[in-house]
Structure 1
């Protein structure tokens, strides 16, 4: 090495030995300044690396991926196609990309070989070359052969809508269970899309040292693609075992709520509709609120009470999207069970979106997938402060059991709470009790676990008129007044 960079740091003693002049202030080379200098990046003039020569991870850190979006419009109106492409652009930006171009093609059905027509592939390649894009994102789920053919012809990375959503989930997963669910979905998707390059990836069994059979046992052996598939299957099995163990905790908590007859409310809806904001308004939960798709992946449950003292839980769930990958529905099934097991679904919809009816339909499709279609549903039309009044009126007409609100301004939140309280299941059995003053614990328990209609303090004890669960009615049978007894 003939030349040393100017800013190279050495101890003073070593610098004197080497004969270098050190005119810097000694106080600037010790303590925190010295640590900062050691961690600083130095640029060596005259050396550079072409972007094609560095790894993908380093490349993503240097700048945003530059992408071209391509869709196929097979049904619906032009507005539906443009709404779908606009949503794909939001997904791409959420994943950390810069959208350069957005095009779609009208076809009766996607091309089986290249998704878009062969001539349109040439057009997209020209767009890629003209814009300098790194990636093409297709608005649909590509078959493995379509993915391979497009990459061979476009000479850039090709990603479909499913892989894009999986990438966003991988970035936003925070909890151990959330990360495991996303990894399971990614592996299930990847297993069908492994690529091999023929004989060069075949492997010989090798000698006994290599785990083979020795003389007479050598041969082409297991190919690289078979090895990868086996390892993915092993990893999938391990993740499913881990998720089954994590599910036990949630099932235990859910069973405890059912035993105590605590009603549960699940807040569900399209991604970025404002579910977390609604939860924060209703319960002061302090959940992260961000104007981004899939900002919430890990469910948050908060305990709250109605105005008449009934206790219930409210859970914020993962957002849905059109064409939600079936791998994600399967991987997040344990989380989505919170919706299926709820007593009431608060279905939040963005009233300012160009197609709120489409969002409602997409979410209800997922409800059907997780067997939540029969749960009572309250539609909450959010973002009233920026929504078109005509759109709000149309939604109210199409959804009779709905409430309009704005989580940002607080408008209509009181009406949402009142509607939730009205829809919550009430205890089935109505009782009149005379509780001695020595059993104040039972009075407190009634206020926690039941719906107290009236109380009166008498010389003999506390008269309570309440609605209770069947289990609690049995425990209080000793203090229950018969119809003939005066109350």
Structure 2
């Protein structure tokens, strides 16, 4: 969005504290949702929260909280009686037999639960302070729900509030859609977005007319809604074919880097991976204090360069409740981590929830088998901590490296640590370079450290130090 800060649209956060979720975790989840919504371009003016045993099947919240939410958006707080015909027929029949007024029957899938917990959350609709008094007269146009909700729940919330409703998955997918830059990332996000949209399509006011159509039109007995869904399926199939072609090119590039020394920075979104990437490589990668600033894998050489070169990769960040379609779509992006020689887990030590965030990162990487790759833990942003807090972290994580990407001494120490890791796995060997294959001398210097060179009648004898995999590759090239 290109609006100014004063014109930024307003949003309200909605969260349900389920059993097993403590107050700290619930508050952290809502705070993270607030940052996601802010990244999307909205100012959060309030949060509506409720303790419940489960999400209300009708509209996530109970009746009382739903009305509180509607006061912030200008809605009625109830689903209009003229809403689509999706009543619970058994319930309606029971109400008719008993002579009761079935006022809740218009809510899709209403579970009929009493709103018994409405009074439990004393700050359920407290203003966040982001908007201030100047925004008091304005109403929110977006409701962001910190859960994955069904299409019917979203529809009911929209009818009750008069605002656009996005669940957590929808917010994340929209952020990915706006931030994707490379062709591969754009294709991956578009596939996830269409998979998200398809089940949420609605029949338009024209009704579900069914008719026979010609080529490209409706099929026999196919409604307009079914036609739209078929078009989405066809589009997804096209995108997957195009993505497969792009990924083959990426696989070729990765194959060319096979045998090289590679480090991948992995971690939660906004943990400081891109800042470390810039400090380690001297490259002008995007650094921004917002979630999912990086969606495309960037590969640069460690700077100052060493021989053989060490490549550093900055990967997409992770987040709790990441939509499964996005995890699947970005599988090829995560392959960079799977094929690395060393993983550097980056965590924001100044965030009190970083332990949970680290667990999310390890869980996602475990899904693709990257948990077998050698790794080291980096606790970043320690410049924001007190000396006592840093000492406590050293006791809790004795194997971790505490650092700040803004401190040159810390970055230099990390660089030496990375070099030391690869030095430990290198071995010395001798390579015979025939005069007929002098063109390979650059390849040797690129993938090994040349200790000495001697030339005789049959060619050059090079004493080198390199990784075993790189040596095997060089020997196979010389033997051809």
TM-score (norm. length: structure 2) = 0.76
Alignment gaps of 5+ in structure 2: 75-136
Query: Is the counterpart of residue 310 in structure 1 residue 308 in structure 2?
Result: yes
Which of 358, 361, 384 aligns to 2:359? It is 361
- Aligned positions of 1:263-278 closer than 5 A: 263-278=261-276
What's the offset of the Cα at 1:423? Answer: 2.9
What's the offset of the Cα at 1:144? Answer: 1.4
CA distance in 2, matches of 1:69, 1:397: 37
Which of 56, 65, 77 aligns to 2:9? It is 65
CA distance in 2, matches of 1:212, 1:333: 35
What's the offset of the Cα at 1:372? Answer: 1.5
What's the offset of the Cα at 1:320? Answer: 1.2
CA distance in 1, matches of 2:410, 2:2: 48
Which of 137, 159, 168 aligns to 1:152? It is 159
CA distance in 2, matches of 1:60, 1:67: 16
Q: SS of 2:269's equivalent?
A: coil
Q: SS of 1:202's equivalent?
A: coil
CA distance in 2, matches of 1:211, 1:455: 72
Contact 1:187-1:236 at 8 Å conserved across structures: yes
Say what the alpha-carbon RMSD is for the aligned residues: 3.3
Structure whose CA Rg is larger:
1
The aligned counterpart of 2:472 is 470
Instruction: Indicate how the Cα distance of structure 1 residues 314 and 158 shifts in structure 2: closer, same or farther if over 3 A, else same.
Output: same
CA distance in 2, matches of 1:211, 1:263: 54
- Aligned positions of 1:166-245 closer than 5 A: 166-196=173-203, 200-205=207-212, 221-245=221-245
Instruction: Indicate how the Cα distance of structure 1 residues 197 and 401 shifts in structure 2: closer, same or farther if over 3 A, else same.
Output: same
Instruction: Indicate how the Cα distance of structure 1 residues 187 and 62 shifts in structure 2: closer, same or farther if over 3 A, else same.
Output: farther
TM-score (norm. length: structure 1) = 0.75
CA distance in 2, matches of 1:323, 1:243: 24
CA distance in 2, matches of 1:76, 1:177: 37
The aligned counterpart of 1:10 is none
Query: Is the counterpart of residue 372 in structure 1 residue 370 in structure 2?
Result: yes
The aligned counterpart of 2:144 is 137
CA distance in 2, matches of 1:406, 1:278: 8
Aligned positions, number = 412
Q: SS of 1:288's equivalent?
A: coil
Contact 1:434-1:464 at 8 Å conserved across structures: no
Higher relative contact order (CA 8 A, sep 6+): 2
CA distance in 1, matches of 2:38, 2:325: 22
Contact 2:218-2:227 at 8 Å conserved across structures: no
Instruction: Indicate how the Cα distance of structure 1 residues 98 and 308 shifts in structure 2: closer, same or farther if over 3 A, else same.
Output: closer
Q: Which moved more, 1:247-256 or 1:177-186?
A: 177-186
What's the offset of the Cα at 1:138? Answer: 0.5
Contact 1:427-1:450 at 8 Å conserved across structures: no
Contact 1:100-1:131 at 8 Å conserved across structures: no
- Aligned positions of 1:273-284 closer than 5 A: 273-284=271-282
CA distance in 1, matches of 2:36, 2:348: 17
- Aligned positions of 1:245-324 closer than 5 A: 245-258=245-258, 261-304=259-302, 309-324=307-322
CA distance in 2, matches of 1:71, 1:182: 26
Contact 2:264-2:315 at 8 Å conserved across structures: yes
